[in-house]
Amino acid sequence: MRRISLSLVTLLLLSIMVFAGGQVLPGNVGRAILGPFADQRAVDTLNHQFGLDRPYLVQYWDWISHFVTGDMGTSYIFRAPVAPFVLDALGNSLKLAAVAFVMVVPLGILGGVLAALNVNRPLDRIISLGGLSATVLPEFVTGIVLILIFGIWLRWLPIAATWPEGAGFATQLYHLILPAMPLFLVLFGYIARMARAGMIEALDSDYTRTAVLKGLPWRTVIWRHVLRNALMPTITVIATQTGYLIGGLVVVETLFRYQGIGSLIFTAARGKDFPVLEAGILTIGIVYAVATLIADLSYSLLNPRIRLGVGS
C-alpha cells in the first residue's frame, strides 16, 4: 500500500509537470490549426472554443478530473476523442516492446551469467565490451545499419514495421523483428552488466561457499543459491527499462514508420495538440508505475527479508 500511495503521488506530480510543460511550449494552438494566414479573430474564437483562455488551474482541474474517469479529452487536430488514439498507439508500442522484451531479457541475463562464470576470460571481455559498445550507440545509428544489412542488402526483413490490415500474429512478428533489434542492442548491455555484477557478488558470498563445502553439485549451487540472489538487482533494471520500451520509442517508431505512442506524442507536440500530448505522457507514466510496482513485488518474492520487513 505504501508503494501504491507513492506511485499515485508520483503520477499526480507528473500530471502537473506535463500540463505545465504543455503551457510553456512555444506557439499558439489556434494559429497552429488554422495556419499562419488566418485572421486573429478566428484564432481567438477557436482558442475560446477549446477553453484555452480560462485560468490554468481551471484548465488543469477540468483535464485531470476527466482523465481519472477515463475521459482523455478531445483532440484539437482530429476533433475526436483522444482515448482511441492513445490506446491504439499504446497497443502498438506494447507489441513492439514485448518483442524486444522477449529478445533482450533472457539473452541479457544469459550473457551476464556466462560473463560472470568466465570472469576475466575472453568470453567475459567479449560480452562486456560488446554490450557496452551497443549501449552507447544511438538507436538511429544502429537502426540505419540494421536496415541496410537486413532490409536492403540481405532482404531478410521488411524495413517498415507497418503490416497489412488483418495480418496474423506471425506476419506482425515478422515486421517487428527488425525494429526490435535497436532496442535489443541498447538494453542488452545494461541487463548483462547488472546480471554479471550480481552473479560475481553471489559467487563470492558465504552461502555459496557453504553450499560448495556441503558437497552440492555445482549446477545445484548455481540454480538454487546463486541465481536467486544474483537476479534481484537485475529485476529492478528490467523494470526501469520497461518505461523506456513503452515511451522512449520516438526514434525507432519514426525510423521504421510505426504508429506507436512515442510517435503519437511527437506528432502531438509538433501540432500543439495538448490533449493528446498530455494523455500520452501520463499514460506512459501509469505504465511505468505499474511496471515498477510489479518489480517491487517480484523483488520481495525473491528476497524474504524484504517481504517480512527484516533488515535494512
pLDDT tens profile 101-136: 899 889 998 998 899 888 888 998 999 888 888 888
Within 8 A by CB and 6+ apart from 213, the residues are: none
CB 284 within 8 A of CB 261: yes
- Cα–Cα nearest to 132, from 199, 195, 197, 191: 191
305 confidence band (pLDDT: 50, 70, 90): low
Residues near 310 by beta carbon (within 8 Å), at least 6 away in sequence: 304
Grid cell for residue 193: 552488466
pLDDT reported for residue 159 = 85
Report the range of poorest mean pLDDT among 93-97, 124-128, 179-183, 251-255. Answer: 251-255
Q: What digits encode the pLDDT tens for the residues 47-97?
A: 888 787 788 888 889 888 888 888 888 888 888 899 999 999 888 888 888
Does pLDDT of 243 surpass 70? no
Residue 290 has which C-alpha cell? 505499474
Decide if pLDDT at 150 tops 60: yes
Q: What is the mean pLDDT of the chain?
A: 82
Q: What angle do CA 130, 131, 135 make, to 5 degrees?
A: 120
Q: What percent of the chain is modeled with pLDDT above 70?
A: 93
Q: Tell me: pLDDT of 306 over 60.
A: no
- Of the candidates 244, 104, 117, the residue with the CA atom closest to the CA atom of residue 188: 104
Arithmetic mean of pLDDT, 210-233: 78
Distance CA 52, CA 33 (A): 14
- pLDDT value for 107: 92
- Measure the CA–CA gap between 23 and 259, rounded to whole angstroms: 25
CA distances from 143 to 19, 48, 301 (A): 32, 43, 37
Q: Residue 81: helix, strand or coil by DSSP?
A: strand
Strand partners, 74: 81
What is the average pLDDT across 228-256? 75
Question: What confidence score (pLDDT) does residue 52 get?
Answer: 78
Amino acid residing at 253: E
Contact residues for 137 (Cβ-Cβ < 8 A; gap 6+): 185, 186
What is the DSSP track for 164-192? PTT--HHHHHHHHHHHHHHHHHHHHHHHH
